[in-house]
Chain A
């Protein structure tokens, strides 16, 4: 029979525009947050991370914002390119060594 899958939210962005991908996390004890990018047929690829004692961190074309008050994480991608098309996952670590809990993901579609 047909399997029921998670409904991935999809964000469509024009090439060159900025993208904002949002994520709500559940564990207030999490102290480390990570964004991953997964392209079709590949494993997740690390983009950027942030510790719970920070509220903003910038990388190359990417910025992660953390709002612990409302347990919200966002990833901003500047000047989005076709190569940014992928599924983006937020993930959290709350101790437990390397165990990471992933969100459901957001599919980013870049329109040329």
Chain B
């Protein structure tokens, strides 16, 4: 079974631009979560999508948004990029977990390395 794939793997943008990152989960997985990894803040939860609905959100500004499609593929968008948005953006997928207390193992992709100049 193919793992989680993320595209592109590397991206360079300038301040003020916007960017869209893509994540294809493992086949059959309906939950997709996004994380930001930086040297200064470590790994931080951005948001989670399940059945095309955002059901949890981390503490990030509204410039960070996402969506999920009917095939469970997900995209995240960052608008008006800032230097501090330079990071590794990781996507993780997991099987269906219906309740808020029903955690399932997450499988991470290799990430998209975003550099903002």
* Chain A interface residues (CB < 8 Å from chain B): 3-6, 31-32, 34, 36, 41-46, 49, 89, 93, 95-105
Residues of B within 8 A of A89 (CB): 43
* In contact, A41 and B106 (Cβ under 8 angstroms): no
Closest B residue to A101 by beta carbon equals B45
The residue among B45, B103, B106 with the most chain A CB atoms within 10 A of its own CB is B103
Residues of A within 8 A of B102 (CB): 97
Given A43-B109, A45-B108, A49-B105, answer yes or no on A99-B58 (Cβ-Cβ < 8 Å). yes
* In contact, A105 and B42 (Cβ under 8 angstroms): yes
* In contact, B103 and A102 (Cβ under 8 angstroms): no
Residues of B within 8 A of A5 (CB): 39-40
Chain A proximity of B113: nearest CB distance (Å): 9
B1-59: which have CB < 8 Å to A? Answer: 4, 31, 33, 35, 39-45, 48, 50, 55-56, 58
Considering the chains assembled together, what is the distance between the CA atoms of A102 and B37 in angstroms? Answer: 10
Which applies to chain A's interface (DSSP): helix, strand, loop or mixed? loop
* Chain B interface residues (CB < 8 Å from chain A): 4, 31, 33, 35, 39-45, 48, 50, 55-56, 58, 90, 92, 94, 97, 99-111
* In contact, A102 and B42 (Cβ under 8 angstroms): yes
Given A43-B111, A46-B107, answer yes or no on A99-B42 (Cβ-Cβ < 8 Å). no
Considering the chains assembled together, what is the distance between the CA atoms of A49 and B4 in angstroms? Answer: 20
* In contact, B105 and A3 (Cβ under 8 angstroms): no
* In contact, A43 and B100 (Cβ under 8 angstroms): no
Residues of A within 8 A of B97 (CB): 97-98
* In contact, B108 and A104 (Cβ under 8 angstroms): no
Contact partner of B43 among A3, A42, A45, A102, CB < 8 A?
Answer: A102
Chain B proximity of A3: nearest CB distance (Å): 6
Given contacts A6-B41, A98-B33, 16 further A-B contacts (CB under 8 A): A3-B39, A42-B110, A42-B111, A43-B90, A43-B110, A44-B43, A44-B108, A46-B105, A46-B107, A97-B50, A97-B56, A97-B102, A98-B106, A99-B33, A99-B58, A100-B106
Contact partner of A97 among B31, B58, B92, CB < 8 A?
Answer: B31
Considering the chains assembled together, what is the distance between the CA atoms of A104 and B97 in angstroms? Answer: 26
Residues of B within 8 A of A96 (CB): 56, 100
